[in-house]
């Protein structure tokens, strides 16, 4: 799955957590935590790569 799609899913999850916190099943988040962290690491690496290529000071 493309990183952009994964990031959309993470943002969607964030919105669910923020707006419906009491109704969230913590086990679902826990079960997906490794994938969430890996996706965020990939996104950070791509942003750093982009900023270096464009000579943007991160």
pLDDT of residue 36: 94
Q: Are 3 and 42 in contact (CB under 8 A)?
A: yes
Q: How many CB atoms lie within 10 A of CB 3?
A: 13
Q: How buried is residue 6: exposed, middle or buried, by Cβ count under 10 Å (0-12/13-18/19+)?
A: middle
Give mean pLDDT, residues 1-26.
Answer: 87
Q: What percent of the chain has pLDDT over 70?
A: 98
Tokens of 10: 């993470």
**Measuring CA to CA, which residue among 21, 44, 24 is closest to residue 32?**
24
Q: How confident is the model at residue 13 (pLDDT cuts 50, 70, 90)?
A: confident
Q: How confident is the model at residue 37 (pLDDT cuts 50, 70, 90)?
A: very high
Distance CA 40, CA 54 (A): 21
User: Residue 45 above 90 pLDDT?
Assistant: yes
């Amino acid at each position: 799955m493309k990183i952009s799609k994964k990031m959309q899913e993470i943002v969607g999850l964030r919105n669910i957590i923020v707006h419906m916190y009491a109704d969230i099943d913590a086990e679902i988040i826990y079960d997906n935590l490794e994938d969430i962290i890996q996706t965020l690491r990939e996104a950070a690496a791509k942003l750093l790569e982009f900023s270096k290529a464009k000579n943007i000071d991160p």
